[in-house]
Amino acid sequence: MAQQTRRVALVTGGAGGIGAEVCRALAEDGLAIAVTDKDLALAENLAKQLPRHGHKGFAVDVSDESAVRRLYDEIGKSLGQVSVLVTCAGVLLLRPDGSRNELVETSLDEWEVTQAVNARGTFLCCREYAQRLGPAPTDGRVVTLSSVAAQLGGYRSSSSYIASKSAILGLTKALARELAPKRVTVNSVAPGLIDAPMLRLSLDPADDGKAASAIPLGRLGTPSDVASAVRFLVSPAASYITGVTIDVNGGYRMQ
């Protein structure tokens, strides 16, 4: 195993819009990044572009139990033990015109694929992280990605997507309680309308103004807005924060 001189962060969905920004932010903070994506070329290309050095790209299907286990083995051999996990991998299945299926129209296949990537994938990556923790207390970090859709019932998102992201909120709290004795914090970030590839599945750029008018801060969010929240939760400054969800939505969901 390579000698570990700095924290290693595993970012799933690392080549995507939000995931890529998370990788850049954590790399700037000095972490060694394991960039993962289903497309190995995309993951490796991003790893080469990150600030500093010592990053590596990996291919993985997060819904595959054995693939997730192999991923952790490969990262351990090349970068060192994962101390930070950020689960950005996700999927939103919509109609060709960008509209969503209502529950009565949702096929079992759509439901199963969405749960497999979003909910099962997060579970598998979190479970593998927890299983590999040593007996001694650590200062690890887990940050999951949920969605404002899980809190509002969604407007552009399908019921299968909303359910999968709601499952992540519950899983985050359960794991936060279980890993607290080992000084591992587990939190979630719930993005709102973020100008990233997933939003563009349902929102035409011509409609950005109308969408932004419903947001108190008057604009769509950016991947860097989300990455900033993740960056904080991973930092020493957030060592006493666990089991919470940070909303990154410009005030779209106020309580």
Helix (H) or strand (E) holding 191: strand 185-191
Report the C-alpha gap between 8 and 4 in whole angstroms. 8
The phi, psi pair for 36, rounded to 5°, reads -120, 145
Report the C-alpha gap between 172 and 187 in whole angstroms. 6
First to last CA, the chain: 48
The phi, psi pair for 217, rounded to 5°, reads -80, -5
- As to burial, measured by CB atoms within 10 angstroms (0-12 exposed, 13-18 middle, 19+ buried), residue 131 is exposed
- As to burial, measured by CB atoms within 10 angstroms (0-12 exposed, 13-18 middle, 19+ buried), residue 33 is buried
Report the C-alpha gap between 87 and 13 in whole angstroms. 7
- The one catalytic residue in 72, 129, 155, 161 is 161
Report the C-alpha gap between 84 and 86 in whole angstroms. 7
Assigned token pair, 25? 């932010």
Q: Give yes or no: 252 in active site.
A: no
User: Which residues are annotated as catalytic?
Assistant: 161
